[in-house]
Structure 1
Amino acid sequence: MNFASVRIITEDVDRLVKFYEKVTGISAERPAPVFAELVLPSCTLAIGHLQTVPLFGPGSAVAANNHSLIIEFRVNNIDGEYERLKSFVDEWVKEPTTMPWGNRAMLFRDPDGNLVNLFEPVTEEAIERFSRRG
């Protein structure tokens, strides 16, 4: 089995696409006005409009109502990313901080309130752990 994507359901696809294009530096593919994909080397971040939910089953998802998922991106220079994004991100949860598990991370919210974590392995153990993942 291969992990393929994470999909965010939103009422404003264009707003989230612009936000994640800025965060990732990747241009989204837009196969339909109600759907977009940001295809990264390790995974795809999909963004679907609330109108797409009935295709999966009525009431199967709710827009902008996430309280348990963190969308994470590994980066090469967390402090550089912070400088690049600090004027663009509206809601910061945590500025760059080294975590007990060896990653230097920062957390912020996207326009729908979803938590986003950018992190960089910085300790020898964390660097080794991620070097095995590719």
Structure 2
Amino acid sequence: MSTVQPVVLSPDPAVLLDFYTQLVGAVPTFRRPARGRAFYLGLRLGDTDLGLVHRPDLDVGTAPRVVLSIEVDDVDGTVARVEALGGTVSRGGQDMPWGQRVAHVLDPDGNPVNLTQPTPA
């Protein structure tokens, strides 16, 4: 069996750790090294693992390095907290014909994040 784990590169993964824990309830699971500036931070979002890797030479705002799609209980309520946590709202929640409410936001490093919520049939 194979699994895929998204890993986001960041010049300051601690900022992204704060963003994802506060916005969608991600839970820190792993840190290397144990002390000092972290090179790798592992998070758990529902049944998915997300890695944050320190890359000091990375230019924030360049081409996206990953697109995350995160299912939340309330798209609109989650979007309302994005800017206070350092992110940017690109497009607020919209109902899609395939049965999801979707919003597009950027995390503090400019990575695109789709926030999704199933809509009733």
The interval holding the TM-score normalised by the smaller chain is: 0.7 to 0.9
1:67 offset after TM fit, Å? 3.2
Determine if contact 1:4/1:43 at 8 Å carries over to the other structure: no
- Alpha-carbon distance in structure 2 between the residues aligned to 1:98 and 1:39: 27
Aligned residue pairs total 115
Determine if contact 1:28/1:37 at 8 Å carries over to the other structure: yes
Query: Is it true that 1:97 corresponds to 2:97 in the alignment?
Result: no
1:87 offset after TM fit, Å? 3.4
Q: TM-score, normalised to structure 2's length? A: 0.78
2:46 to 33, 41, 44: 41
- Structure 2 unaligned blocks of 5 or more: none
2:14 corresponds to: 14
Q: TM-score, normalised to structure 1's length? A: 0.71
Give the structure with the larger helix fraction: 1
1:5 offset after TM fit, Å? 1.2
After superposition, give the CA deviation of every residue in 1:56-77 in whole Å (9 maximum; x if it has no partner): xxxxxx5644437420111122
- Structure 1 unaligned blocks of 5 or more: 52-61, 125-134
Determine if contact 2:8/2:66 at 8 Å carries over to the other structure: no
Q: Which has the higher contact order (CA 8 A, sep 6+)?
A: 2
1:40 offset after TM fit, Å? 2.5
SS in structure 2 of the partner of residue 36 of structure 1 = strand
Structure exhibiting the larger radius of gyration computed from Cα positions:
1
Determine if contact 1:8/1:46 at 8 Å carries over to the other structure: yes
1:114 offset after TM fit, Å? 0.5
After superposition, give the CA deviation of every residue in 1:25-66 in whole Å (9 maximum; x if it has no partner): 123232321110111232111000116xxxxxxxxxx56444
